[in-house]
């Protein structure tokens, strides 16, 4: 699954990415992140099962709370 986030500038995107990265390390589950000026896209997937696992939804929920 993936979700797009919008921001006012690069610094805000970057700050969001840092928070996502910190959560990923806490959860030991790592999304694929694309970002630049004013945007961030977070993709979450469990490669081992080629699908979505509980850990994906936990990670997504924590990112949504940022």
CB-CB contact of 23 with 62 (8 Å): yes
CB-CB contact of 13 with 40 (8 Å): yes
- Binding to a copy of itself by residue 33, rule CB under 8 A? yes
Question: How many of the other CB atoms lie within 10 Å of CB of 14?
Answer: 14
Straight-line distance from the first to the last Cα atom of the chain, in angstroms, rounded to the nearest whole number: 18
Query: Least distance (Å) from a copy of itself to the CB of residue 14?
Result: 4
Query: Least distance (Å) from a copy of itself to the CB of residue 57?
Result: 18
- Applying CB under 8 A, which part among 28-36, 49-57, 58-66 lies near a copy of itself? 28-36
Among 1, 6, 36, 57, binds a copy of itself (CB under 8 A): 36
Specify the residue for token string 């000026």: 37
Query: Least distance (Å) from a copy of itself to the CB of residue 61?
Result: 19
């Amino acid at each position: 699954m993936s979700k797009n986030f919008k921001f006012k500038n690069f610094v805000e995107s970057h700050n969001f990415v840092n928070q996502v990265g910190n959560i990923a390390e806490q959860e030991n589950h790592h999304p694929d992140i694309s970002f630049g000026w004013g945007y961030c896209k977070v993709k979450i997937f469990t490669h081992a099962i080629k699908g979505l696992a509980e850990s994906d939804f936990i990670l997504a929920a924590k990112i949504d709370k940022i």
